[in-house]
Chain A
Amino acid sequence: QKEVEQNSGPLSVPEGAIASLNCTYSDRGSQSFFWYRQYSGKSPELIMSIYSNGDKEDGRFTAQLNKASQYVSLLIRDSQPSDSATYLCAVNRRMNTGFQKLVFGTGTRLLVSP
């Protein structure tokens, strides 16, 4: 079982729709969760972080966390063609040294059609 699992997609949605991206993780001790957006040929860009169960909203983005189910999701409302990118889920895992290590999923490719 991978530490962080995502459906590779592509997830295709029409412009204006809600895109729902999902992620599951295996380490129950993880406490910090992130979503990065990566355009083709570019580096990952942090768009959302979430640390508590429930929803966190930032503009058109909503991150949802359910620690009991070990599940993180990202909703993008009013999807735009410019949202077409790969979305990486990342989960912090605490190491024995006391430091944290960020583990990434393989990413979900989102395609928003005009």
Chain B
Amino acid sequence: EAGVAQSPRYKIIEKRQSVAFWCNPISGHATLYWYQQILGQGPKLLIQFQNNGVVDDSQLPKDRFSAERLKGVDSTLKIQPAKLEDSAVYLCASSLVTSGVTIGNEQFFGPGTRLTVL
């Protein structure tokens, strides 16, 4: 079974530029997550999709970050304009879980995109 795919793997941009990341989840996984991981910290959830609907985006800086999951499969995360503090690894994860489930929700991560903002 293929895992979560992400691209690009690395990106270097200057502040105020824009950047986009792409994610393809594990086949059949209804839920897709975008995390931001800053060096030395655990992953922080930015946005969670159930199929193509947003479940939680409470920690997404909506003035500069946007995400979509058209057709309930692939997803893109965009930053515009980027700031120095956006330098981090952006991780995409997916899981089978649907609403109402209280046990489980095993999430599987893609390789991540390392973003450097200069």
Which A residues have a C-beta under 8 Å from some C-beta of B? 4, 8, 31-32, 34, 36, 42-46, 49, 51, 88, 90, 92, 94-95, 97-107
**Among residues 72 to 117 in chain B, which have CB atoms less than 8 Å away from a CB atom of chain A?**
89, 91, 97, 99-112
Question: CB distance B45 to A97 under 8 Å?
Answer: no
The listed residue (A32, A44, A107) touching B105 by CB distance below 8 A is A32
Instruction: Please report whether the interface of chain B is mostly helix, strand, loop or mixed according to DSSP.
Output: loop
Residue of A nearest to B104 (CB): A32
**Among residues 8 to 45 in chain B, which have CB atoms less than 8 Å away from a CB atom of chain A?**
31, 33, 40-45
Question: CB distance A99 to B42 under 8 Å?
Answer: no
Residues of B in contact with A, size category: 20 to 34
Residue of B nearest to A99 (CB): B55
Residue of A nearest to B50 (CB): A99
